[in-house]
Structure 1
């Protein structure tokens, strides 16, 4: 990574505008990232080329024209009110953080979502996932359907409520589409192996279920009749009666042992009661369906693989928070709060 030829090629990228993609193609063993940083001191834009080798070491190459910002003043900054977070040099303004919290990431805690967004954008800067106009339109249609925005008027009203322009909405949807492509690329060669090892956790069980006040008996005259009578007496907790759940969802709700009992029960039999924070859960098993690697399950597997990939990058990331007190931000693993 430090031989003269490689460094000379890298320097030409910085000084002469040589093709960055061609440099990446000529050096497949390197992770290459061109970093742009706006200097707080004078507002100038500085660039550096980061070359990360297979052993994890990194060479940082930068170049400054004559009369550029002096080196001692590079990196001098204050955390402006607009800046919330920086991960591996990727900055998250407060406005983007709000967008993340509202509808970009919907499966982790606040701090995790923001760090994940930075790590994903870092990966997309290193290896972009361009989205075609047709893909963007499909992603936009899916985005609107998921939020019940079925007409132009509903979409415009939603944009006004969230203070988004059409260009900003397209940018957010393009991010989602790019993330989906990145996720598929990361998981591409691992889906079948993951499914062979963990696919049983995606088996589906179809249930009729009821949560009863502790001590409420089931007479055995018929499960649904018992549920109706218990609900009429105020002994059944309001909730969904017919559900389809995957094994991993049952494990999260009831624990491994109870989930195993339900998944192994013969169709037509009762299982439980199982203690929950709302009362005692009793279920009637209607059907158990082994997971099949169809499109829906493949998407779930890709998400699991992608989550593991993100976690590995998170453990190696430098995370800097620019908000709150050191005590508050220090509670998040990996944080290095500014002082």
Structure 2
């Protein structure tokens, strides 16, 4: 016997409450209002071409290859075509507001904080025994073992072991301060003396240090960081009143 269940807007609000999602939802609403109001005050407008490009980018992001898939996606998320246009519109004004507020501030900020954007390529093995770490360090120094052999033997995580302990390209903020200081003082390629932290004893191969370059990707990253800080400051300066019943 089939059963029909009716879900109301009240049911949805209650479920959001019971799922403990209200704080995140309120924050998103406040963010939207702050950005929308600031864009209006700055006289930011959106033309049809910009709106279309944003909508196309959204469809690409959601892997919607045609009209049929788009309408199915809208139905699944209880959205109308007007809602899709509103999402696209908000995306455009957010980007334009970020540019309006911070385009001229990105370059000076970069040069003032250039060291924060230097990258480093490292390989790492974390051990529990400091004596063992020192023994392995000297074995590598004397050519008795390679760093890869140490990683292959002592790393427990299968995927990390397969990569020889490769951690990728990291910045200073990705590393603990005691590790960061040693890593960025290295002369690559160099295996560092074991470093003890609360997570264990770190045996690190510094393969390469990458000097920061203010390219388009980094410009966008810095602009986004500054914009995010600006939004947080705006939220802290407003009083939010909710009426949910």
Q: Give the TM-score normalised by the residue count of structure 2.
A: 0.70
Tell me the SS of whatever aligns to 1:189.
coil
Which residue in the other structure is 1:258 paired with?
Answer: 179
Residue 154 of structure 2 is aligned to residue 223 of structure 1: no
Counterpart pick for 1:134 among 49, 69, 73? 49
Size of the aligned set, in residue pairs, is 215
C-alpha separation between the residues in 2 aligned to 1:248 and 1:150? Answer: 36
Which residue in the other structure is 1:151 paired with?
Answer: 65
C-alpha separation between the residues in 2 aligned to 1:205 and 1:196? Answer: 18
Higher relative contact order (CA 8 A, sep 6+): 2
Please tell me whether the aligned partners of residues 98 and 227 of structure 2 are also in contact (alpha carbons under 8 angstroms).
Answer: yes
Please tell me whether the aligned partners of residues 230 and 236 of structure 1 are also in contact (alpha carbons under 8 angstroms).
Answer: no
Please tell me whether the aligned partners of residues 227 and 236 of structure 1 are also in contact (alpha carbons under 8 angstroms).
Answer: no
C-alpha separation between the residues in 2 aligned to 1:308 and 1:165? Answer: 32
Instruction: Render the CA deviation track for 1:157-209: whole Å, top value 9, x for unaligned.
Output: 54444333333223212211210110010002222221121122111112223
Which residue in the other structure is 1:125 paired with?
Answer: 40
Instruction: Render the CA deviation track for 1:213-251: whole Å, top value 9, x for unaligned.
Output: 5226445211222222224xxx3475473411222233x
Q: What is the root-mean-square deviation of aligned Cα atoms in Å?
A: 3.5
Please tell me whether the aligned partners of residues 188 and 209 of structure 2 are also in contact (alpha carbons under 8 angstroms).
Answer: yes
Residue 229 of structure 2 is aligned to residue 304 of structure 1: no
Which residue in the other structure is 2:82 paired with?
Answer: 167
Tell me the SS of whatever aligns to 1:283.
strand
Which residue in the other structure is 1:269 paired with?
Answer: 190
Please tell me whether the aligned partners of residues 188 and 206 of structure 2 are also in contact (alpha carbons under 8 angstroms).
Answer: yes
Which residue in the other structure is 2:98 paired with?
Answer: 183
Q: Give the TM-score normalised by the residue count of structure 1.
A: 0.53
Which residue in the other structure is 2:215 paired with?
Answer: 294
Counterpart pick for 1:245 among 161, 170, 182? 170
Instruction: Render the CA deviation track for 1:289-319: whole Å, top value 9, x for unaligned.
Output: 1211111111122122223322332333122
C-alpha separation between the residues in 2 aligned to 1:321 and 1:264? Answer: 51
Q: Which runs of 4+ in 1 moved over 6 A?
A: none
Which residue in the other structure is 1:317 paired with?
Answer: 238
Counterpart pick for 1:214 among 112, 124, 128? 128
In the superposition, relative to structure 1, how do residues 285 and 130 fare at CA in structure 2: closer, same or farther (>3 Å)? same
C-alpha separation between the residues in 1 aligned to 2:158 and 2:196? Answer: 14
1 or 2, which has the higher strand percentage?
Answer: 1
1 or 2, which has the higher helix percentage?
Answer: 2
Tell me the SS of whatever aligns to 1:319.
coil
In the superposition, relative to structure 1, how do residues 111 and 273 fare at CA in structure 2: closer, same or farther (>3 Å)? farther
Which residue in the other structure is 1:71 paired with?
Answer: none
Please tell me whether the aligned partners of residues 179 and 195 of structure 2 are also in contact (alpha carbons under 8 angstroms).
Answer: no
Please tell me whether the aligned partners of residues 207 and 242 of structure 1 are also in contact (alpha carbons under 8 angstroms).
Answer: yes
Residue 119 of structure 2 is aligned to residue 194 of structure 1: no
In the superposition, relative to structure 1, how do residues 185 and 262 fare at CA in structure 2: closer, same or farther (>3 Å)? same
Please tell me whether the aligned partners of residues 206 and 244 of structure 1 are also in contact (alpha carbons under 8 angstroms).
Answer: yes
C-alpha separation between the residues in 2 aligned to 1:194 and 1:236? Answer: 39
C-alpha separation between the residues in 1 aligned to 2:26 and 2:92? Answer: 22
